[in-house]
Amino acid sequence: MTERILVIKLGALGDFVQALGPFAAIRRHHPDARITILTTGPYVELAYATGLFDQVWTDNKPRALQFNKWLDLRRRLRSGDFQRVYDLQTSDRSSFYRRLFWPGQNPQWSGIARGCSHPHANPKRDFMHTVERQAEQLQMAGIDDVPAQASIIKLSTPIDSFDLGENFALLVPGGAPHRPEKRWPEQKYAALADDLFEKGVTPVLLGGPAETESMEAIAQQAPGTINLCGKTSLLEIASIARRANFSVGNDTGPMHLIAGVGCASLVLYSHASDPALCAQRGVKVSYIRKPVLDDVSVDEVLAELKGPNLA
C-alpha cells in the first residue's frame, strides 16, 4: 500500500521559500510515498515547480461562518487517506485542521496541534529562526539533515522577453501595505537607482500590482530604470535573480526568493522585523538594520554594495 503524506504550508512567500529545504527532506524521507501539499493560490505554481509533490491542493481558507466551505475542506482532507501530516504552517488555523479528521482515524501529525503524535516540543520555538525551527520540528518527527533552500532551488523559466541585458541589479522597494515601517522611502530607492545607472548597472524594479503607484514614481524619478512591477511570476523572479549582479530590497517575500537562488542580496530592516528570526538565507546575504528605515542613507547602501558587487 502506497504511503500517503500531507504537507501543509499556506504562505506567505518568504515562509514558503524557507520551507523548500524541509519539503526536500520530507520527500527524501518518504521516497515512495504519494505526497500532497496543501497551500494557497499564490504558491501553487511554485509548489509544482519544485517537483517534490505528487499533488498540489489549494486551500481557500474558509472563514468562520462559511460552513459549506469547511465541510468541503473536511471531506477533501478525509478523502486523502493520509498516514502522516507535516504541518509546516504551525498556525492556529493549520493546527485546527487536525480536528477536521474527526471522527475518523487521526493521521500522525508533526506540528503544534494539541494532542498530536509528533509535537515540536520546544517551548522556545517562537524565538528560533524559521529555518532552524522547521529543521528541529522535522528532527523531532524522525527526519534529519534538512537542507538549506539555496541548495535545492532549481526553479527556472525563460526570461528573454524582458530584455534586461547583461549588467543589471534588482530593487525590491515594496512590502505589505499594512506595514509601511518596513519600507525604505521611495525617493531613496530612486536616488539609488540613479547612482547605479551612472555606474553602468541597470536598476530593475520588482514587485506586485499593489506597489504599482510607488514603483512608477521611482521609475519616473530615475529614468534609466526598468520597471517590471506586476509583470513577473515567481518563477520568472527566480530566473531573473539568478542572472542579476545583486539585489537591494526591504524585508519582503520576493527577497527571500531572490536570496535563495544565490543572488547577492542586501536587505534593509527596521524595528518592525528581526533578522535573527526571519532573515533571508542564501549564498551571500547582508543586512542594514536601523529602528527607522528613513535613517538609512543611500551612501550607506552603496558602501555596503562596494567590492565584487559594485566597482
pLDDT digits (tens, 9 = 90+) for 178-215: 889 999 999 999 999 999 999 999 999 999 999 999 99
284-308 per-position pLDDT tens digit: 999 999 999 999 999 999 999 987 6
Instruction: Residue 104: name the closest of 85, 124, 77 by CA.
Output: 77
Of 151, 184, 208, the one marking the end of a domain is 151
228/295 Cα distance (integer angstroms): 27
Question: 176 and 299 in one domain?
Answer: yes
pLDDT in the model for residue 152: 55
pLDDT in the model for residue 151: 52
Question: 169 and 100 in one domain?
Answer: no
C-alpha cell at 84: 502522516
235/240 Cα distance (integer angstroms): 9
pTM of the predicted structure, to 2 decimals = 0.93
Domain count for the chain, please give it: 2
- Domain encompassing residue 146: 4-151
90/121 Cα distance (integer angstroms): 12
Question: 236 and 270 in one domain?
Answer: yes
Which CATH number do you get for residue 14? 3.40.50.2000
3/23 Cα distance (integer angstroms): 16
The confidence band for 153, taking pLDDT boundaries of 50, 70 and 90, is: low
Of 102, 117, 151, the one marking the end of a domain is 151
pLDDT in the model for residue 290: 97
270/252 Cα distance (integer angstroms): 12
163: left (phi over 0), alpha (psi -120 to 50) or beta: left
pLDDT > 90: percent of the chain: 88
Question: 91 and 144 in one domain?
Answer: yes
What radius of gyration do the chain's Cα atoms show? 21
The confidence band for 311, taking pLDDT boundaries of 50, 70 and 90, is: low
Question: 299 and 170 in one domain?
Answer: yes
- Sign of the Cα pseudo-torsion (210, 44, 285, 277, in order): positive
Mean residue pLDDT across the chain: 94
Looking at the domain assignment, is residue 310 inside a domain?
no
C-alpha cell at 210: 499593489
pLDDT in the model for residue 178: 86
Contact yes or no for 253/225 (Cβ under 8 A): no
Question: 134 and 37 in one domain?
Answer: yes
Residue 174 clears pLDDT 60, i.e. is over it: yes
pLDDT in the model for residue 150: 55
Looking at the domain assignment, is residue 283 inside a domain?
yes
